[in-house]
Amino acid sequence: MQPEIIYKSIGIIKTPFENIAAMPVQPRGAEGVEGIVELNPELVPGLADLEGFSHLILLYHFHLIAGPRLSIIPFMDDKPHGIFATRAPTRPNAIGISVVKLLKIEKQPALYRRG
């Protein structure tokens, strides 16, 4: 049996997308879209020296996913594929990753743009 792995949230990523239907299917569809990372206040000192970097790597939880699906028909396809052969967010752990351009850092929050 695999041990359970538990992560604690360290902040919130805010984007203009309010629902799954409005989100772009591919990262290129969000190019130029700005968002904000609001780090938990006690972690803000960890932003020291980040200003000189060009990009952030964001790991996040897909909080709007109803549950995992092991097979899915991807956008612009007509046959099902195993979830791990797609970019679909309905994965067993609902973890996402994005590399975004860092625009600026204020004490709180950091501002980024995708693409």
Q: For the chain, give every domain's residue range.
A: 11-113
Please enumerate in sequence order all residues whose Cβ is within 8 A of that of 82, keeping only pairs 6 or more positions apart, or say none: 70, 71
**11-113 belongs to which homologous superfamily?**
YaeB-like (2.40.30.70)
Please enumerate in sequence order all residues whose Cβ is within 8 A of that of 20, keeping only pairs 6 or more positions apart, or say none: 64
- Global pTM reads 0.79
CA distance 95 to 59: 7
How many CB atoms lie under 10 A from the CB of residue 100? 22
pLDDT digits (tens), the chain, 115 positions:
888 889 899 999 888 887 777 777 676 777 888 888 888 888 888 888 888 899 999 999 988 888 899 999 988 899 999 999 988 888 998 898 888 888 888 766 665 565 5
